[in-house]
Amino acid sequence: MKFLTTAQVAERLGVHRTRVNVLIREGRLPAQQFGRAYLVDEKDLALVSERTVGRPPKPKSQFTVKSGKKR
């Protein structure tokens, strides 16, 4: 069992450390807390390695916005 810090996980996944903390907080990435630090088992990286990158698209509104100048 090899444990990684959030900085090491972020480097391997190509994301920022705060994104790793969000994944941990959402429960998508299992981690153990030691004091203020989180440690992630190396084998658990496979759980988030196939995640989609970026924000999910906004839902399309059923209303259309008219463009034009205000009077």
pLDDT of 11-42, one tens digit each?
998 889 999 999 999 999 999 999 999 999 99
For the record, the structure tokens of 2 come out as 């090899």
**How confident is the model at residue 56, as a pLDDT?**
67
| Cα–Cα distance, 48 to 71 (Å, whole number) | 51
Distance CA 71, CA 65 (A): 16
Instruction: Show the CA angle centred on residue 53, arms to residues 23 and 6, nearest 5°.
Output: 35
Task: Provide the token pair at 11.
Answer: 């480097």
